[in-house]
Amino acid sequence: MRAAPTILHLDMDAFYAAVEQAAKPSLRGKPVIVGGLGPRGVVATASYEARPFGVHSAMPTAQARRLCPNAAYLTPRFGLYRQVSDVVMGLLRELSPLVEPLSLDEAFVDLQAGDAGVETARDARAVGARLRRDIRAATGLSGSVGLAGSKMLAKIASEQAKPDGLVVIPPGTERALLAPMPVRTLPGVGPATAQTLRRSGIATVGEIVEAGEAELVRLLGRAHGTALYAMAQGIDERPVVADRDAKSVSVEDTFDTDLTDRARIHAEIARLADRCVERLRAAGRSGRTVVVKVRNYDFSTLTRSETLRGPTDDPAVVREAAARLIEGVDTTAGVRLLGVGVSGLADFTQEDLFAQAAALPADRPPRPVPPAAAGPTTGEEAVEAVRRWLPGLDVRHARYGPGWVQGSGLGRVTVRFEQPGSPPGRVRTFPVDDPELEPSDPLPLPAGQPSGDPAIRPKVIPSSDAGAPATGTSSP
């Protein structure tokens, strides 16, 4: 174990919802739920105002609507979230070159590899407090910070600090801190392992230590039992690993109703291919293998893949490969989910796109996306009509300026005209085909703009330099 709490874990508070509150002045201090909005949608993030109603991430959106019907339900805007995340990750890299992002809103930092000069718990607290101030000044958002001598304990500390707090676990206090905690606190203890331990009378981390390594090996096997016994004592030697290399980039969508129309399926695959390439290019990568994922009406899932002659980040190439792959899949019974991915990643792009065409078998030329069945719109237009006016997305009106969609239906779309940093704006309703209304890119958040209700105070954690298993501070 380290002699000082030099591993920092940052977890932004209700990140997606907090970004939406910062961007939409009328939502500050109100319940906000971000996620899939259809009957099969899932909550990605619930603001702290929504959580007292029992809403939490990974909950079906339909259940969340029953628990909290008056919340704002918004479509995720991952492009904006990534922009804000880049600012936060940049602040972390000012502390140390060893930053391990876990997601857009969460990361580990090894302060020992930087110039922060952390030698005591007091030093660690000062670094954490400064980081939280810098994040708020740059983004207007709050983050919870944990500092400890290992990754496991730093993450536990940040959980204790939520929301909007700071907790430091001084070395030497780990076992006292962990002992009363439930076994599910430890990494790798899921429902099945917890049930196995509970049947043997082991419910807390302290009881894991009391049981001994031999008993854990008997119950769980050598690898799992040995690792769990070490973690129960606060021992976790996993290093912070910078630039974790992704093996693939993919996107997928679950649909409100099963898709059977081939034109719609092809249009969805083309749209997913374009989104996948956007992510690929944002990561500065290219890929050689295109993968299509299909989940059928009965939840059975299959994948099909095609390996190209060289890596590419060309959307036309990925679209063509995905269209060929979906052609070979029987979708007549109905499709719940479609996905497109690219694997075999590289840091360069195949310049000679003719090489991709040359790699195709002579009897399988590129297929165009088939036209829609009889009707007034093409498959792409049908997708656009379904997806254009989703709640939360950005729009701009020729006369009223920027705003966001509050809702749509029955041929109408309701827009609230406000923007980051403005007072709450006015609501207006338009026909869905109003020529003066169009989708827009998100506006950047103003630095230092508060995202939530100032009446919601962070949890206060008693602060001291010695004697307590964990030390912390509330937000300044």
Q: How far apart are CA 429 and CA 412, in angstroms?
A: 7
Residues 367 and 322 in one domain: yes
CATH number, domain of 214, equals 1.10.150
Q: Would you state the pLDDT for residue 386?
A: 45
Residue 457 domain-assigned (yes or no): no
Query: 3-class DSSP state for residue 5?
Result: coil
Which H or E element spans position 326?
Answer: helix 315-327
Q: Would you state the pLDDT for residue 58?
A: 85
Q: Which residue range is the domain that position 314 belongs to? A: 262-371
Residue 246 domain-assigned (yes or no): no
Residues 278 and 332 in one domain: yes
Name the domain boundary from 232, 251, 286.
Answer: 232
Residue 315 domain-assigned (yes or no): yes
Strand extents, DSSP E, 114-164: 143-148
Residue 113 domain-assigned (yes or no): no
444, burial (CB in 10 Å: exposed 0-12, middle 13-18, buried 19+): middle
Q: How far apart are CA 430 and CA 413, in angstroms?
A: 5
Residues 296 and 346 in one domain: yes
Start-to-end CA distance of the chain, whole Å, equals: 31
CB 383 within 8 A of CB 264: yes
Residues 220 and 319 in one domain: no
Residues 224 and 267 in one domain: no
Whether the pTM exceeds 0.85: the reply is: no
Tens digit of each residue's pLDDT, the chain (476 residues):
788 899 999 999 999 999 999 999 999 999 999 998 888 788 999 999 999 999 998 899 999 999 999 999 999 998 899 899 999 999 999 999 999 998 889 999 999 988 878 889 999 999 999 999 999 999 999 999 999 999 999 999 999 999 999 999 998 898 899 999 999 999 888 888 899 999 999 999 999 999 999 999 999 998 889 999 999 998 888 899 886 666 788 988 888 788 999 999 999 999 999 999 888 887 778 899 999 999 998 888 899 999 998 888 888 999 999 999 999 999 999 999 999 999 988 765 443 333 344 444 433 333 333 333 333 344 444 444 444 789 999 999 999 999 999 999 889 999 999 999 899 999 999 999 999 999 999 998 877 655 544 333 333 333 333 334 455 544 43
- β-strand pairing of 99-103 with 106-110: antiparallel
The first and second tokens of residue 175, run together, are: 């076992």
The b-or-e profile of 202-240 (16+ CB within 10 A means b, else e) is bebbbbbbebebebbbebbeeebbebbbbbbebbbeeeb
Q: Check 106, 268, 320, 418 and give the catalytic one.
A: 106
CATH number, domain of 361, equals 3.30.1490.100
Name the domain boundary from 330, 348, 371.
Answer: 371
Q: Would you state the pLDDT for residue 372?
A: 34
Name the domain boundary from 322, 340, 371.
Answer: 371
Partner residues linked to 431 by β-bridges = 412
Strand extents, DSSP E, 207-334: 248-259, 286-296, 301-312
Q: Would you state the pLDDT for residue 226?
A: 92
Region of residue 151 (phi > 0: left; psi between -120 and 50: alpha; otherwise: beta)? alpha
Residues 225 and 324 in one domain: no
Residue 106 domain-assigned (yes or no): no
Give the number of domains in the chain. 2
Q: Would you state the pLDDT for residue 449?
A: 54
Strand extents, DSSP E, 355-422: 394-397, 401-409, 412-417
For the question of residue 106 being annotated catalytic, the response is: yes
Residues 287 and 347 in one domain: yes
Residues 340 and 279 in one domain: yes
Q: How far apart are CA 128 and CA 123, in angstroms?
A: 9
Closest by Cα among 469, 461, 468 to 128 = 461
Torsion of CA 326, 327, 333, 339, to 10 degrees: 10
Residue 227 domain-assigned (yes or no): yes
